[in-house]
């Protein structure tokens, strides 16, 4: 079953490291947005997309800038147009600095059953460096409110390899996170993406990010601590308690179909070898297209057998589950060794092959961008 | 045509001082260019010439000028290449002229590169007169620059023309000065034919097109001619001039400049500096100054992708059609596979050929460190010419090794003399003479081993003199020397393409610096990479590139997949420019790391 992604491209202010599409918008603009999404959903139905959806994901931007009623309106539109599968996973990304107990309660009542909180760090100093709205105390309060509002599937973001961070700092952060006992954790090493304020300060020498040795040590430390606390490291940046892996995101890495609604959202159709679509990240243009009843999506790429095979491997090797020779054989008529005999040999040190499944070791994940090149 | 109405001149200028713009203006002012053709730098036809602001091939353009004195003149502008590698070609182009404009930027003043060519022009007895260009710039200081020209070069600059080629200021004055100041040619129109070849290139339809300056006699279509140095005979098929487009004419007479074609198949047959004469009434003596130009610097050129070998060979053959001083022959390297050993006039020539191959023919190249030709006498008494470190026999077979020496003349302002002497000493030079040309201008003359020059002498000279030193050199002789082969091992395997021949006293230092430099160039790989320098079996230096620890995109969700995958695909494309040696990927720069090694005393 397909997933649905709803892009909410609004932020109160941009964080220094973020290169996702979002804009600082007025409350009025935000209030008008659900109506646009509803129109877009209607249009997508006419374009041959079909439901029901097994997963829904409100991503951003800052989806928690939407009022609970707005979320409710949107989910109703989803139900009306495509329908929701039984026990659908419905996630909302929330910024701890923008939530209250009533708003979280409202989201829960509107049907959100998985909350992803952008906690990022438990260090006031680091939260400031990252340009976040919240501090440590407000972060903890938000977690408590989420629980009080009834969220029993809670994900927290953790950033590591932060400017000036030491191993001890990270250990302390990990201790705090484990104390909060989330069902799911997304752990990202901070990278200076092009055209972000963070990259500018690094380039100007105002900030320095830890070197790749620290990044690697930190990545492995996070792995060790979380795995021994009972989390599965199920994707390069994601950990979950048994049964709590994010089904929506797994869909991306398994090349399942997903419909992306909203300015800046991407979609993937499974048609013969797959095609990926994009609504350009331009709110005004998006609004105009919809008001003119024009299709806002445009095709980014269409796959053939060979490119689909490459991308299947590229995505699957990000996950612990990896890729199975039987599945490859069924879909593409080759095993991994048949398709890439030399690569399998040269990556041998980082590849594990257990029960028909190929996957990368954590040390291999650290070199993912390098190891994956020959498959592309 | 009467010689009194001919003026043959060339323009001498430093890069960026406005030579090409001035040439464009002269063409426009004399009506040689239509409006449509007024592209910038008309004479620099190759992209490379335009971009780097240097002229690689010579040109000759005929301009018709109606002077203020009421007479019509033919002005032949001979555009010359401008770099120490092409000194011989420049000297031949200049010897086709009677005069030269010395163009100097009125704010920058006299720069080093100009000097060598001015001296060449003076050696050829040319009338040189200064033009102060870019006079429109607020920073222009014509009086200071005038004084500089007089002091440094010793030219009378009191009536230097003040101009701005860009703004079209002073163009008429320059044209008048050409007529007034440059002497008319004084050949013997009735004498036996003597015509100087000052450049040639290959045209697929007409064969070799030869640029000539007729000194004595005349040249007509149908004439049987003989090239005096190579002794071959041809029949002239076409005589013409560039105005600036080729126009056929009946004959070229004494004093005139133009081109001929004569079914000459390869440029190697029409050598620059050779004299053309008639078969039936030959000149007794050829024009002076002819030299056979031999490649002095050799390096290996290899395609990064071994599948490009045939393309590379075809491209080189095409380039050689137009460049008689470039040579190549197949060579085989354990590390790099099949490639070519190529000969060049110097380092710039090497860079130009390499860049043209990559750019015009789309072949990615690995260039190995440049070397000179050594003479090795084996213990059995055989003499071998060694143009590649890998051809150096093992030490037990070597009786003696000789290396080429040059006589280098460095013109330099006196404040830099100390630094120049230190550099020459460091480069194993033997001092011959230090001459004070003026109170502030010095000529330092040294005997130097050429192998030190091909590494980084020129760059260092430029840097230490802030660009003011100019270098000219001639070949001297071969001298016995203590030379050894320095090998480089990557992860324990000898990489033949990285071997060098160095002086024994410098081996230790060079080895250490070379591996340190290579460490900078070699990106981290999935495993540690050990770089060692060795003489024979003895390792003298070692560095290692630590294994890559981290290269990962942390986030990859629905909206990232396409963009991030495309970034990776681009990286993969970029890696194709690296050469896989064993299981290590070496970037192109790693093979030329020796050129980047800084020396200390």
Among A320, A129, A362, CA closest to A225: A362
Which is higher by pLDDT, B557 or B594? Answer: B557
Can you list the residues of chain A whose pLDDT is less than 70? none
Whether residue A311 lies within 8 A of chain B, CB to CB, comes out as: yes
Assess whether pLDDT exceeds 60 at residue B50. Answer: no
Residue of A nearest to B567 (CA): A369
Residue B89 pLDDT:
86
Assess whether pLDDT exceeds 70 at residue B578. Answer: yes
| Interval B472-498 mean pLDDT | 92
Collect all residues of chain A within an 8 Å Cβ-Cβ radius of residue B562: 266, 276, 278, 300-301
Residue B601 pLDDT:
40
Whether residue A300 lies within 8 A of chain B, CB to CB, comes out as: yes
| Interval B518-538 mean pLDDT | 93
Whether residue A72 lies within 8 A of chain B, CB to CB, comes out as: no
Residue B267 pLDDT:
86
Residue B183 pLDDT:
96
The pLDDT tens digits of the residues spanning A238-293 come to: 999 999 999 999 999 999 999 999 999 999 998 889 999 999 999 999 999 999 99
Residue B518 pLDDT:
94
The pLDDT tens digits of the residues spanning B306-354 come to: 889 999 999 999 888 878 889 999 999 988 899 999 999 888 888 889 9
Which is higher by pLDDT, B296 or B495? Answer: B495
Residue B373 pLDDT:
94
Assess whether pLDDT exceeds 60 at residue B281. Answer: yes
Whether residue A219 lies within 8 A of chain B, CB to CB, comes out as: yes
Whether residue A314 lies within 8 A of chain B, CB to CB, comes out as: yes
Whether A373 sits inside 8 A of B572 (CB atoms) is yes
The pLDDT tens digits of the residues spanning B429-482 come to: 999 999 887 777 788 999 999 998 887 888 888 889 887 787 877 789 999 999
Name the residue with tokens 């081993």: B449
| Interval B582-591 mean pLDDT | 89
Assess whether pLDDT exceeds 80 at residue B598. Answer: no
Between the ranges B197-206, B238-247, B522-531, where is the mean pLDDT highest? Answer: B522-531
Assess whether pLDDT exceeds 60 at residue B53. Answer: no
Interface test with B, best of A215, A370, A372, A374 (most B CBs within 10 A): A370
B→A interface, C-beta within 8 Å: 526, 548-559, 561-562, 565, 568-569, 571-572, 575, 583
Among candidates A216, A260, A301 on the partner chain, residue whose Cβ is nearest the Cβ of B558: A260
Topology of domain A305-375, CATH: Arc Repressor Mutant, subunit A (1.10.10)
Among A112, A59, A105, A60, CA closest to A89: A112
Q: How confident is the model at residue B84 (pLDDT cuts 50, 70, 90)?
A: low
C-beta separation of A68 from A110 below 8 A: yes
Residue B468 pLDDT:
78
Mean pLDDT over all residues of chain B? 89
Residue B426 pLDDT:
92
Q: How confident is the model at residue B363 (pLDDT cuts 50, 70, 90)?
A: confident
Which is higher by pLDDT, B274 or B537? Answer: B274
Assess whether pLDDT exceeds 60 at residue B56. Answer: no
Q: How far is A66 from chain B (nearest CA, A)?
A: 21
| Rounded Cα gap, residues B595 and B582, in angstroms | 24
Name the residue with tokens 């048949």: A338
Q: Which residues contact A7 (CB under 8 A, 6 or more apart)?
A: A21, A59, A60, A61, A260, A261, A262, A263, A264, A265, A279, B559
Assess whether pLDDT exceeds 90 at residue B489. Answer: yes
How many beta-carbon contacts under 8 Å exist across A and B? Answer: 95
| Rounded Cα gap, residues A340 and A336, in angstroms | 6
Assess whether pLDDT exceeds 70 at residue B58. Answer: no
CA dihedral B24, B26, B28, B31 (to 10 degrees): -140
Name the residue with tokens 């009191």: B158
The domain limits of chain A are 3-252, 305-375
Assess whether pLDDT exceeds 50 at residue B553. Answer: yes
Assess whether pLDDT exceeds 90 at residue B490. Answer: yes
Q: How confident is the model at residue B83 (pLDDT cuts 50, 70, 90)?
A: low
Whether B549 sits inside 8 A of A215 (CB atoms) is yes
Assess whether pLDDT exceeds 90 at residue B520. Answer: yes
Residue B82 pLDDT:
61
Residue A140 pLDDT:
97
Above 0.85 for ipTM, yes or no? yes
Q: Could you tell me where the DSSP H helices lie in chain A?
A: 27-46, 68-81, 101-110, 124-129, 136-148, 167-180, 197-203, 212-228, 247-253, 283-291, 305-316, 325-332, 336-339, 341-346, 362-366, 368-372
C-beta separation of A283 from A26 below 8 A: no
C-beta separation of A244 from A153 below 8 A: yes
Q: Does domain A3-252 have CATH number 3.20.20.70?
A: yes
> Could you tell me the pTM of the whole model?
0.75
C-beta separation of A335 from A329 below 8 A: yes
Residue A319 pLDDT:
97
| Rounded Cα gap, residues B373 and B327, in angstroms | 14
Whether A215 sits inside 8 A of B559 (CB atoms) is no
């Amino acid at each position: 079953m397909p997933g649905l992604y709803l892009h909410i491209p609004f932020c109160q202010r941009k964080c220094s490291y973020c290169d996702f599409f979002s804009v600082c918008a007025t409350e009025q603009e935000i209030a008008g947005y659900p109506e646009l999404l509803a129109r877009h959903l209607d249009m997508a139905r006419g374009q041959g997309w079909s439901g029901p959806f097994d997963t829904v994901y409100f991503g951003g931007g800052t989806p928690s800038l939407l009022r609970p009623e707005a979320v409710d309106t949107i989910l109703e539109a989803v139900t009306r147009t495509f329908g929701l599968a039984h026990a659908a996973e419905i996630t909302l990304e929330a910024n701890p600095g923008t939530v209250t107990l009533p708003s979280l309660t409202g989201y829960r009542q509107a049907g959100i059953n998985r909350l992803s909180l952008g906690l990022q760090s438990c260090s006031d100093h680091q939260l400031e460096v990252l340009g976040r709205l919240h501090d440590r105390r407000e972060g903890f309060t938000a977690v408590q409110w989420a629980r009080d509002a009834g969220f029993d599937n809670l994900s927290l973001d953790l950033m590591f390899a932060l400017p000036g961070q030491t191993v001890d700092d990270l250990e302390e952060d990990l201790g705090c996170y484990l104390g909060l006992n989330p069902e799911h954790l997304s752990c990202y090493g901070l990278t200076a993406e092009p055209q972000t304020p963070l990259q500018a300060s690094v380039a100007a020498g105002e900030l320095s990010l830890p070197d790749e040795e620290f990044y690697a040590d930190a990545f492995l430390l996070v792995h060790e601590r979380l795995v021994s606390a009972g989390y599965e490291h199920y994707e390069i940046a994601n950990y979950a308690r048994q049964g709590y892996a994010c089904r929506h995101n797994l869909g991306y890495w398994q090349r399942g179909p997903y419909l992306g609604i909203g300015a800046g959202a991407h979609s993937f159709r499974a048609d013969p070898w797959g095609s990926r679509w994009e609504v350009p990240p331009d709110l005004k243009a998006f609004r105009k297209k919809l008001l003119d009843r024009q299709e806002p999506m445009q095709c980014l790429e269409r796959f053939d057998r060979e490119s689909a095979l490459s991308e299947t491997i590229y995505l699957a090797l990000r996950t612990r589950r990896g890729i199975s020779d039987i599945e490859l054989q069924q879909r593409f008529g080759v095993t991994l060794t048949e398709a890439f005999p030399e690569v399998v040999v040269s990556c041998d040190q980082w590849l594990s092959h257990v029960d028909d499944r190929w996957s990368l070791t954590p040390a291999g994940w650290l070199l993912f961008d390098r190891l994956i090149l020959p498959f592309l | 045509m009467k010689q009194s109405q001919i003026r043959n001149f060339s323009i001498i200028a430093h890069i960026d001082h406005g030579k090409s713009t001035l040439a464009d203006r002269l063409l426009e002012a004399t009506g040689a260019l239509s409006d449509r053709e007024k592209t910038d730098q008309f004479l620099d036809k190759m992209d490379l010439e335009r971009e780097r602001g240097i002229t690689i091939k010579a040109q000759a353009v005929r301009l018709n000028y109606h002077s203020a004195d009421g007479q019509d003149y033919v002005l032949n502008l001979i555009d010359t290449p401008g770099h120490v590698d092409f000194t011989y070609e420049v000297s031949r182009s200049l010897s086709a002229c009677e005069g030269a404009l010395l163009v100097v930027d009125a704010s920058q003043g006299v720069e080093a590169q100009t000097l060598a060519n001015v001296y060449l022009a003076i050696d050829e007895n040319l009338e040189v007169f200064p033009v102060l260009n870019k006079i429109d710039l607020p920073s222009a200081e014509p009086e200071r620059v005038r004084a500089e020209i007089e002091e440094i070069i010793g030219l009378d600059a009191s009536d230097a023309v003040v101009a701005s080629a860009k703004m079209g200021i002073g163009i008429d004055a320059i044209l008048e000065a050409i007529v007034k100041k440059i002497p008319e040619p004084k050949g013997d129109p009735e004498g036996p034919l003597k015509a100087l070849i000052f450049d040639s290139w290959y045209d697929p339809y007409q064969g070799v097109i030869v640029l000539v300056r007729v000194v004595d006699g005349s040249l007509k279509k149908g004439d049987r001619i003989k090239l005096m140095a190579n002794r071959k005979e041809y029949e002239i098929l076409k005589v013409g001039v560039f105005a600036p487009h080729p126009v056929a004419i009946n004959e070229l007479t004494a004093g005139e400049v133009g081109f001929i074609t004569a079914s000459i198949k390869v440029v190697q047959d029409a050598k620059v500096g050779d004299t053309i004469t008639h078969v039936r009434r030959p000149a007794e003596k050829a024009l002076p100054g002819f030299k056979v130009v031999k490649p002095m610097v050799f390096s290996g050129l290899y395609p990064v992708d071994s599948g490009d070998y045939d393309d590379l060979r075809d491209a080189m053959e095409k380039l050689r059609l137009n460049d008689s001083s470039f040579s190549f022959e197949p060579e085989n390297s354990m590390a790099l596979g099949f490639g070519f050993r190529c000969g060049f006039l110097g380092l710039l020539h090497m860079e130009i050929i390499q860049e043209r191959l990559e750019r015009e023919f789309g072949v990615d190249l690995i260039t190995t460190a440049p070397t000179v030709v050594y003479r090795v006498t084996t213990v059995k008494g055989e003499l071998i010419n060694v143009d590649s470190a890998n051809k150096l026999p093992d030490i037990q077979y070597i009786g003696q090794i000789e290396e080429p020496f040059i006589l280098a003349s460095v013109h330099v302002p006196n404040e830099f003399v100390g630094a120049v002497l230190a550099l020459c000493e460091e480069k194993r030079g033997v001092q011959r003479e230090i001459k004070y040309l003026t109170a502030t201008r010095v000529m330092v003359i040294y005997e130097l081993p050429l192998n030190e020059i091909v590494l980084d002498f020129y760059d260092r000279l430029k840097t230490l003199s802030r660009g003011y030193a100019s270098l000219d050199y001639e070949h001297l002789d071969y001298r016995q020397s203590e030379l050894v082969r320095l090998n480089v091992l990557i992860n324990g395997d000898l990489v033949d393409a990285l071997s060098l021949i160095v002086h024994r006293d410098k081996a230790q230092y060079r080895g250490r610096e070379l591996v340190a430099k290579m460490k900078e160039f070699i990106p981290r790989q999935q495993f540690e990479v050990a770089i060692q320098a060795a003489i024979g079996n003895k390792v003298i230096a070692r560095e290692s590139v630590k294994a890559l620890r981290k290269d990962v995109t942390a986030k990859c969700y629905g909206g990232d997949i396409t963009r991030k995958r495309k970034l990776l695909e681009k990286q993969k494309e970029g890696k194709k420019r690296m050469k896989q040696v064993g299981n290590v990927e070496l970037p192109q720069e790693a093979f030329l790391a020796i050129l980047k090694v800084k020396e200390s005393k």
